[in-house]
Structure 1
Amino acid sequence: MESGAEPQKDYYKVLEVDFDATDETIRLSYRRLALRWHPDKHKGNSDVTAKFQEINEAYQVLSDPDKRLEYDLSGSYEIDRYTLREYLSRFKGMILTCNGLGINHPSWSQQLTETEPIDQ
């Protein structure tokens, strides 16, 4: 990373959801946080306005399937930024399934469960 470059924001942390959160979970968390951090409730506080803008930015990306996929695939992830629990929660989809990497091949699971006798 270049010096002075801002690290990529973790939009999942911003919206307080897991990496594999459903669209509905993301929407509900966004609404809850937007109500809590709305600038009208905290008049004159620039930190609250910045937090509200960050929440909106995260929602704009994670609520759009194409932007979310691009974000997930292009993110720069540093292992030391996460506790083990956060790391496993965030990356379990990629760790446990090919679909977590965007690979969807239904016959693979069928092939793994079917075994053919070996001719000797």
Structure 2
Amino acid sequence: MEPIAVAAGTSLVGAMASDGWPVARAEVVAFWRRARADEADTVADDLAELRAEVLAARQADDPDLERALAGIWQRRFQELLRPDPGLSGELRSILEQHLAPTLAPDERAEVAATVSDEKERHDRR
């Protein structure tokens, strides 16, 4: 799996419990609309449902559920990038500008390390 997809999925789930969620959500839906317009409304609905699940997981102190939800979105981002790897630059920008800033410092450091690994891998190509 592409590291940028892993970082984006993880950050998306983390962002859902933050005050920055409305902007982050709008950016992700707009990204999806540009990449696959026919799926954007479904993604918007899925994100609303996912947010409720993430908030419930946090309230129940269930990190396993949060990881599982992040895994679902990591896969969705991966599937979006697979036919058009050029989208990874735009996804990285959304991650760095709108998702990662909403995270707690420890989560942000983990995402930064993943993105750094991805950049190094890309530079070696």
**Max Rg structure:** 1
Work out whether the TM-score is over 0.5.
no
> Relative to total residues, which structure has the larger helix share, 1 or 2?
2
TM-score with structure 2 length normalisation? Answer: 0.31
Report 1 or 2 for greater relative contact order, CA contacts < 8 Å, sequence distance ≥ 6: 2
